Amino acid sequence: MYNHVPDLSLSGINPVFNMIRLLLSVAYISWLTLLAPQLGAQSRQPTLGELWYDVERGYSGIAASEAAITSALSNERAVKSEALPQARIQLQNTFSTYDGRNGAFFPQPGFFNVSGNMLHTGEASVIANTFASATIEWELFAFGKQHKRKLAASEMSARYSLEKEAYVLRLKKEFSVRYIKLLYTESKRIWAAKNARRLGEIGVTAASLARAGIKPEADSLLARSSYLQAMAEQDKWLGNRNASLEKFREFYRNAKPDLLFSERRFAHPPLMENERVRMDKMHPFTEVLRKKSSYYKIKGTAETRSGLPSVKFLGGFAYRGSGIDADGNVSGNWADGFSNTADNFIVGIGITWDLTGMRTYREKGRMWNYKAREHQMLQQQAEEALRAGYAATLSKRTEQQKQLRKTEQALKNAGQAYEMYMARYRSGLISLTELLQIRMLLEQAENSHIEAVQEYWMQVAEQAELTADFDFLFNSL
């Protein structure tokens, strides 16, 4: 932005032209650092809360959390549907051979098949078969297993909702920190530009005094050296500002320097009253751990009860047709596959009990109970860490508010002193080195105030995360 470096020495063919060029350069820098921000401030700058509103609607991380909640709710509905009667139906129409032998076998575990009569008459080698069946299975009593599964699914949905709240809270903190760093680097860039402007003015004055024979020409060289150093510092902070802007664009892609910089609100923060700050007992960070502990405890109970028997109502109906009649006559016609039918139904009560898995289920239940205990202890640890962090942040922020009052007053005094010493230097009453020392004190006062302001906003952001309340920060910055 500031690529032109004026020549502050007395060498040159046309010193008048050099003087005009210096004055124009200083005037240009002054306009950029003083008038341009004031013109931009005439249009209302959005607050941090208004920027967050746009981020919340379009950030992919929040959308991912909402998808996880929807998935958990679908799982909850699926678990609840398991309590409904389970009905199955099948229809078959096939062609097959019918050669067989007497005997019995197990086609699959839990079933066996017996083959009987082998006497058939007819020349057909392939017959048509028709089969249809329907079964119903309804769990009547399962020692609370289904109820515990539904509770576990409900706890999982609630856990994902809390995890989203905790994620959004961390995201607000990160969003605020990046915005604070963005405004901090912009303030430092403006601070470096002000220093360059002051040194440019000093260089113009030194050149005039040297030309008049009041001051030595060495003053011009010294002023030029200081000016170049200030320009280099300005380039450094311009790069830092641009880097902070790119990082902030991860959240807010439409970020533009002329639209976002509420530098005045950053530099003059309102002080927070301690009475307004309260720590929420139901903090999302601890509530997530509490919900996890509850989920694992219910999961352990459900796993233990999985080893208990289940009592079910069973019912079924079957329809069968074949190309072989009761006398053993064989027909290969497809239509005869719907003849020679037999209809059957079955109803009853069944008990299913996995006896060998009882120990396995009991050990799995103990595993989940220990997971619940682990997260219960983590919850207590998190609560203690939040209380300690809140107390430390509150104490630090209270002292920083005192620091801000002092640095602001120090900055005001240093600015007035500099103007007085600048007037004395123009009159030839003090040396350039004395003026540069006074300017250095003003520069240090401005820098100290910017650092104090940044640290104050960082503590406000930290406190907002600990209290789960970003209203003050979002409305003030």
Query: Which residues, other chains included, contact 290 with Cβ-Cβ below 8 Å and sequence gap of 6+?
Result: 375, 376, 379
Length of the chain: 477
Predicted local distance difference test score (pLDDT) of residue 120: 63
Contacts (Cβ under 8 Å, ≥6 apart) of 348:
313, 314, 315
Query: What is the sign, positive or negative, of the torsion defined by CA atoms of 185, 189, 192, 194?
Result: negative
CATH number for the domain formed by residue range(s) 15-72+151-294+368-476: 1.20.1600.10
Domain ranges of the chain: 15-72+151-294+368-476, 86-141+310-352
Distance CA 390, CA 82 (A): 46
Burial 320-357 (b: 16+ CB within 10 A, else e): ebbbbeeeeebbeeeebbeebeeeeeeeeeeeeeeeee
Rounded distance, CA 315 to CA 347, Å? 4
pLDDT score of 263 = 74
Q: Which residue has the tokens 């139901």?
A: 282
Residue 370: the pLDDT is 92
User: Which DSSP symbol is given to 136?
Assistant: E
Residue by residue, pLDDT tens for the chain (477 residues) are 334 444 444 444 344 445 555 555 545 555 444 444 444 444 567 788 888 888 888 888 888 888 888 888 888 888 777 777 777 777 777 666 655 654 555 666 655 555 555 556 666 778 788 888 888 888 777 777 778 888 888 888 888 898 899 999 999 999 999 999 999 999 999 999 999 999 888 888 888 888 877 888 888 888 888 888 889 999 999 999 999 988 988 888 776 655 555 777 888 888 877 655 666 668 899 999 999 999 999 888 888 888 888 888 888 888 888 877 777 777 778 887 787 788 888 888 888 887 777 888 888 889 989 999 999 999 999 989 998 988 898 888 888 888 999 999 999 999 999 999 989 888 888 888 888 899 999 999 999 999 999 999 999 999 999 988 898 999 888
- Residue 407 and residue 455 in contact, taking contact as beta carbons nearer than 8 Å: no
What the block records as the tokens of 47 is 């607050």
